[in-house]
Amino acid sequence: MRTLCCLQGFVSIKKANGECESFSEIMRIRNRNVNLHRIELVNTFSRSLKDEPLPYEIAIKILNEIENTPQFKLHIRILAAGIWAFVFTLLFRGMFSEGLAAAFMCMLAYLIKSKISEIGFYEFLEFFVSGMLTALISLLAVKLFPQMNVYKIIIGSIVTFAPGVAIANSVNDALRGDIVSSLAGIGEAVLVVAALGAGVGIALIIGLQWV
């Protein structure tokens, strides 16, 4: 399950003329995200590696190719985030209008967050800023349409950033015995939640007096 967050850490063992040589490569991982297609590719690659060992250079080249496999285009991802926010709000018994507002807000927040991370910024500040902006725009929406509930809109629009999968995965890792990766995952999830909560909270404290 470690491959979920870190893909670049890679150890390869080369066998040549019956001798065992081992190479290890350690890298610092700055960008973490969940990319299931890469997991699939790395999985097939490592299975093929078990059957026929490859020289180090070729293996690294294949892994670099895997790292650069295309993702879905940004607008498709934004649309998916919006639809998920809408679906989530409806699943948890929100109104139709609140779902639409949440979807709009979520798409905006996703766009802003991906733009910020393109420029390059601290990861937790990204969550802080996007949480704060979402809350501010939601307050504006509630000011315009007072029959909607601010909290429902904010929760719906923030659901794509909330690290639920990370929390569940870390607990799963811990149960399987991967203590280090599970502790790192839980720590990161707590920090992300803290950043989101702080951003939204500050915006709400300032904004609710104005509304």
Partner 1 sequence: MGVMNMLQLILAFIGSVCAGILFNVRMEKLFWAGLSGALGWITYSLLHTATGAVVIPIFLGAAVVGLYSESAARLLKTPVTIFSISGIFPLVPGITAYTAMQFLVENRLEEAAGKIVETLACAFAIAFGLMLITGIFRFAGRLKEQKIR
Which of 7, 63, 66, 81 is the binder for partner 1 (CB under 8 A)? Answer: 81
Longest distance between any two alpha carbons in the chain, whole Å: 76
The stretch among 56-64, 116-124, 140-148, 152-160 that binds partner 1 (CB under 8 A) is: 152-160
Q: What angle do CA 204, 209, 211 make, to 5 degrees?
A: 85
Given candidates 109, 126, 193, 207, which one binds partner 1 under the rule CB under 8 A?
Answer: 193
- Min dist. Cβ of residue 191 to partner 1 (A): 11
What is the smallest separation between the CB atom of 157 and partner 1, expressed in angstroms?
Answer: 11
Q: Which two tokens stand for residue 122?
A: 């601290």
187 sits near partner 1 (criterion: CB under 8 A):
no
x/- track of binding to partner 1 for residues 40-59 (CB under 8 A): x--x----------------
SS3 content of the chain, % helix, strand, coil (to 5): 70, 5, 25
By CB under 8 A, residue 4 contacts partner 1 = yes
Q: Where are the alpha helices (DSSP H) in the chain?
A: 36-51, 56-67, 74-91, 96-119, 123-144, 150-158, 164-176, 179-210
The pair phi, psi for residue 117, each rounded to 5°, is -75, -20
Residues contacting 177, CB < 8 A, separation 6+: none
96 interacts with partner 1 by CB under 8 A = no
Q: Which residue has the tokens 């018994």?
A: 93
- Which residues sit at the interface with partner 1, rule CB under 8 A? 1, 4, 34-40, 43, 71-72, 76-77, 80-81, 83-84, 87-88, 90-91, 155, 158-160, 162-165, 167-172, 174-176, 189, 193-194, 196-198, 200-202, 205
